[in-house]
Copies of this chain bind each other. A is one copy, B any other.
Amino acid sequence: MSDTNKYVCVSEDSRAISETLGRIGDKWTVLVVGALRHGPLRYNEIRRIVNGISQRMLTLTLKGLEQDGLVTRTIFPTVPPRVDYELTELGRNLIVPLTALYEWAVEHRSAILVARDEFAKKEREAALQPRFATPK
């Protein structure tokens, strides 16, 4: 509403952020949106692309995305039934920041793995240098 606080306070906007991230932050949503970035797909096509997703999670994820206006759901009354999912304008828009995150992930993954390794090493060393005794 008021534009007086743009970079002021985290807690102010944290509700907005939490809310949005709660939706798009989980891995399935991101992966499904990623799968749809090139065009509409059918239910089982998404399922094949997003490896490891269960029917339940796919259905829930898609429903959530539809609810939030990120994808459209088109039913073709044929037999067997066919349902297409496609990103809306809003959904396509989301791909931009998501791609940024995606690229960050790919680019820095090795750095993270290295950091984890070193952290584990340090922890082990710390465990070997107790001040006096570290009973149980």
Taking CB as reference atom, which chain B residue is nearest A25? B25
For residue A14, CB closer than 8 A to chain B, the reply is yes
Which residues of chain B come closer than 8 Å to A114, judged between CB atoms?
A: 69
What is the bound-complex CA distance between A111 and B67, given in angstroms? 11
Which residues of chain B come closer than 8 Å to A111, judged between CB atoms?
A: 69, 90
Interface on chain A toward B: helix, strand, loop, or mixed SS? Answer: helix
Q: Contacts A27-B22, A115-B67, A119-B66: A16 and B104 contacting too (C-beta < 8 A)?
A: no
Which residues of chain B come closer than 8 Å to A26, judged between CB atoms?
A: 21, 25
B108 close to A93 (CB less than 8 A):
yes
What is the bound-complex CA distance between A78 and B113, given in angstroms? 33
Q: How many residues of A contact B (CB 8 A)?
A: 52
A10 close to B34 (CB less than 8 A):
yes
29 A-B contacts (beta carbon < 8 Å): A9-B49, A10-B50, A10-B51, A13-B106, A14-B50, A14-B51, A16-B106, A17-B27, A17-B31, A17-B34, A17-B102, A18-B27, A20-B104, A20-B105, A20-B108, A21-B25, A21-B26, A21-B30, A23-B112, A67-B116, A67-B119, A68-B115, A69-B115, A70-B115, A93-B108, A96-B104, A97-B100, A97-B101, A101-B101
